[in-house]
Structure 1
Amino acid sequence: LILPNNFSTSALVFLNGLALMYVAKIRIKYILSIILSAFLFFLSIYSITKYTDFGSKIIPRSVTWVSRIDGFLLEKENDDMTKDYQQVQSLVAIQNGGIRGVGPGKSIQRSILPYSSSDFIFSIIIEEYGLIGGVGVILAYLILFFRATLISFKVESFFGNLVTIGLIFSLVFQALINMLVTVEILPITGQTLPLISMGGTSIVFTCISIGIVLSISRDSTDRDYEKA
């Protein structure tokens, strides 16, 4: 249902599913077979769309996927002037930031870089607060991931464990993908930075996810008190 309209979100859900299967102790050979099947499916869609017109009839958005992937791969072979405008400006913002940054609210690239308040907010953070600010954001997500992992270990319910891991993995994976796009390691995906990027729906669902994790943690703590 998600794949025909949004490849990056479907890939995020797929990675999250793999993580849950690993946590649920599904045999590695089954997980690897799913990965191989997904890779072959994607490769077939890519080839059909690139060399024929049939792929676009099956999945209309596949043309966009192929163009982004080809553009990203070709950029690695060409000079900097032919790169994607957004990622070039993102790298400029990161370079301007240096170690300490230019200062809060003094970003130059904020008015030049498209989607600077959503998809590329991490670049603006580094420009204004420098490498120190960027590392601080990364550490904040790592702390959130670490705390949620500890909660999952304390939960007695297997379902609660999977829910906690699934929600936090989804959040951290999305943050990681967003950061990798800003430094041009991945092609543009359209994924926002959770809790930081501007956007109503994204923030609401992220807060709901964190609220569910906190609810599971409270339930686990209450049971510990009852046992004591």
Structure 2
Amino acid sequence: MNKILSNTKGDRWIWLIVILLSVLSMLAVYSSTGTLAYKRGVGVESILMKHMAMIFGGIALMYISHKLDYRYYAGISKLLMIVTIPLLLYTLAFGATINNASRWINIPGTGLSFQTSDMAKLALITYLARLLSRKQEHIKSVKESFVPIMGSVCVVFALIAWANMSTALMLFGVSILLLIIGRISVKQIGIVCIGGALIVSAVMFLGPRRHLYMTRIHTFMHPELADPAKKYQGDHAKIAIASGGILGKGPGNSTERNYLPEAFSDEIYAIIVEEYGLIGGIALIGIYLFLLYRCMKIVTKAPKAFGALLAAGLSFSLTIQAFANMAVAVGLGPVTGVPLPLVSMGGTSILFTSVAFGIILSVSRHIDENEELKKSGEEGGETKGNNKVIVGDLTLA
């Protein structure tokens, strides 16, 4: 154990945040899965043990991915994109339907399902970071930079949006932020936004889930006119939050967990506020904000564009997803299927979120190692500036 701890590098605060969120996740999932356990005919402890296995598996993946030099993710991103697009197409055609959405692929012989949009998020962000960092010399060129960048964003966005609009919109927003940081011109970003708007319009009016999207928007905009059954989940989430008060009802004392259909996943923030009160809800918001702050420190210290863009894109994705989930719980947005990162019960969501944390920590580890080398060089009176590593067409210090 001591050897493993000594080998955990990178920002210590991010490691602490992961541990805090994991502990909170186990407490919240154990408290909110009573109804699910009853429906499945199993004990709550059985569901908790599976969830804990996913959490520990995620931490193991985070440890492995943080030990890999972040610069290798540039090459991995190409492979991920090659695999992701066919998987998204396969999901649309043959994916398993869960909760009226075809977002999953069943893994034969395991009883497990795989949500391809989780891989797509990681693939697109790492691939965009690679493209933007490698094309800085020709960043204003339409042929050299804009076409491949816009093509990758719009293709992945369209394939995800057809079955999962909320995830697609968040990923599109993260992509636009990366384009801004990557010095893409305002005109070109505007063209990407127009392309995204056209895709959204096509999916909203022609897609297989158009009726569901329209119903959710109408329910959010005009709750007084909506069918009570359609706003059932949102109403009970608000009841949970309102009944929590300042200090909450205490761990395990939620009553709305028996009414909320996705208390352990989409609406887990409402259960947390009900049990831990306004203080607990604000504390959780503070944890995600502090995570963003620590990640931005990594971005500003990253010596190369790829590391900075990689850390920025992944941290934006995690925090935007967290605040989208919490906004839905408090009634600031229409109901979606977005989980709370590292807190909601899930399978592939936890695993890919953990990998994203690991990649951010890999960038942080590289920064720390560079600073140690610089410090040792200054103390020894040596110059380390001429030591370089060539990766592809990039010269990396």
Same fold at TM > 0.5: yes
Instruction: Please name the residue that 2:356 is paired with.
Output: 209
Say which structure is richer in strand: 2
User: Distance between the aligned counterparts of 1:173 and 1:18, measured in 2?
Assistant: 13
User: Distance between the aligned counterparts of 1:195 and 1:68, measured in 2?
Assistant: 26
Residue 135 (str. 1) matches residue 293 (str. 2): no
What are the equivalent positions in structure 2 for 1:34-183 lying under 5 Å apart? 34-43=192-201, 45-46=203-204, 49=205, 55=206, 59-75=207-223, 77-78=224-225, 84-183=231-330
Instruction: Please name the residue that 1:52 is paired with.
Output: none
Find the residue that maps to 1:191 and give its secondary structure: coil
Letter in 2 for 1:204: L
Letter in 2 for 1:68: R
Tell me the CA shift for residue 79 of structure 1. 8.0
Deviations along 1:13-67, one digit per CA (max 9) or x if unpaired, are 1011011111112223332333244234434554xx3xxxxx2xxx222332222
User: Distance between the aligned counterparts of 1:138 and 1:29, measured in 2?
Assistant: 35
Instruction: Please name the residue that 2:336 is paired with.
Output: 189
Which contiguous aligned blocks of 4+ residues in structure 1 show a shift greater than 6 angstroms? none
Judged with a 3 Å threshold, the aligned counterparts in structure 2 of structure 1 residues 145 and 20 are, in CA distance, closer, same or farther, namely same
User: Distance between the aligned counterparts of 1:146 and 1:24, measured in 2?
Assistant: 20
User: Distance between the aligned counterparts of 2:247 and 2:210, measured in 1?
Assistant: 41
For the 8 Å contact 2:219–2:225, the answer to whether it is kept is no
User: Distance between the aligned counterparts of 2:232 and 2:212, measured in 1?
Assistant: 17
Max radius of gyration: which structure?
Answer: 2
Find the residue that maps to 1:71 and give its secondary structure: helix
User: Distance between the aligned counterparts of 2:287 and 2:186, measured in 1?
Assistant: 31
Letter in 2 for 1:115: E
Judged with a 3 Å threshold, the aligned counterparts in structure 2 of structure 1 residues 70 and 79 are, in CA distance, closer, same or farther, namely closer
Query: Which of the residues 150, 172, 176 maps onto 1:18?
Result: 176
Tell me the CA shift for residue 81 of structure 1. 5.3
Find the residue that maps to 1:14 and give its secondary structure: helix
User: Distance between the aligned counterparts of 2:348 and 2:202, measured in 1?
Assistant: 33
Judged with a 3 Å threshold, the aligned counterparts in structure 2 of structure 1 residues 82 and 205 are, in CA distance, closer, same or farther, namely closer
Q: RMSD of aligned C-alpha atoms?
A: 1.8
Deviations along 1:93-113, one digit per CA (max 9) or x if unpaired, are 001001111111111111111
User: Distance between the aligned counterparts of 2:194 and 2:232, measured in 1?
Assistant: 33
Instruction: Please name the residue that 2:134 is paired with.
Output: none
Letter in 1 for 2:214: V
Letter in 2 for 1:151: I
Instruction: Please name the residue that 1:33 is paired with.
Output: 191
User: Distance between the aligned counterparts of 1:127 and 1:112, measured in 2?
Assistant: 13
User: Distance between the aligned counterparts of 2:247 and 2:194, measured in 1?
Assistant: 44
**102-111 or 31-40, which moves further after superposition?**
31-40
Find the residue that maps to 1:2 and give its secondary structure: helix
Instruction: Please name the residue that 2:31 is paired with.
Output: none
User: Distance between the aligned counterparts of 2:342 and 2:276, measured in 1?
Assistant: 18
Find the residue that maps to 1:60 and give its secondary structure: coil
**66-75 or 86-95, which moves further after superposition?**
66-75
User: Distance between the aligned counterparts of 1:138 and 1:10, measured in 2?
Assistant: 23
User: Distance between the aligned counterparts of 1:206 and 1:19, measured in 2?
Assistant: 19
Letter in 2 for 1:116: A
User: Distance between the aligned counterparts of 1:44 and 1:115, measured in 2?
Assistant: 29
Residue 3 (str. 1) matches residue 150 (str. 2): no
Deviations along 1:193-228, one digit per CA (max 9) or x if unpaired, are 001111121111111111111111011110111112
Find the residue that maps to 2:281 and give its secondary structure: helix
Alignment: residue pair count: 217
User: Distance between the aligned counterparts of 1:131 and 1:79, measured in 2?
Assistant: 28
Find the residue that maps to 1:139 and give its secondary structure: helix
